[in-house]
Amino acid sequence: MGERPSLLAPDVTRYLLSDEGEEVIDEVVKHPVTIVRPVLTVVVGALVMVLSGLAGPVWWLVLAFGLGLCGAGLYQYHARYMDRFVITNMRVFRVHGIFTRQVATMPLTRILDISVRQSWLGMLLNYGHFTFESAAQDQGLREITYVGRPRQRDLTIQGVIQRAGIRAVSTTA
């Protein structure tokens, strides 16, 4: 029996190596600050549709424009919902996309460095952007943006790497 693709829910468990004992440690959804643009787009589209009656003979064109804005905003919101960054006991990966699913994976053994960047707004609202440096030259998982609780998530990844015994604990003073 084949797998059915899901356009409505991001099922990250289908990408786990269950036979190898892979388990999800953390599944990260983009920070709520990322819904501001889609929501504003839908609100502006709704206002344009409501005011389309004032446009005279081209009311239908204004109505179609407002409907298009609403559709674009809803699509942006759904794309944000479908974008997941997953930390497992073996690797990190990102799954995103609605009509075409894209998966980028990095084994924990390949992670050389993780940089966390936070703007002043990010510090205020507790989100940041991750940059992964890897042993591979070209990688599909480099930037992960709008990660909520970035310090805790960085510590989670570092802890998983330590528990897996991939890096030795430094004892220099």
Report pLDDT digits (tens) over 25-71.
999 999 999 999 999 999 999 999 999 888 888 889 999 999 999 99
Beta strands in the chain (DSSP E): 24-29, 84-88, 91-96, 102-107, 111-117, 127-134, 143-148
What would the DSSP string read from start to end of 140-167? S--EEEEEESHHHHHHHHHHHHHHTTSS
Report pLDDT digits (tens) over 68-114.
999 999 999 999 999 999 999 999 999 999 988 899 998 888 888 88
3-state SS of the chain: helix, strand, coil percent to 5? Answer: 45, 25, 25
Beta-bridge mates of residue 96: 102
Give Rg (Cα) of the chain. Answer: 21
Report pLDDT digits (tens) over 121-169.
999 999 999 998 887 655 678 899 999 999 999 999 999 988 877 655 4
Per-residue confidence at 170, pLDDT binned at 50, 70, 90?
very low
CB 114 within 8 A of CB 131: yes
Residue 99: name the closest of 4, 2, 7 by CA.
7
Cα distances from 69 to residues 33, 60, 66, 99, in angstroms, run: 20, 14, 5, 20
Task: Output the pTM of the full model.
Answer: 0.81
For the record, the structure tokens of 130 come out as 């991750």
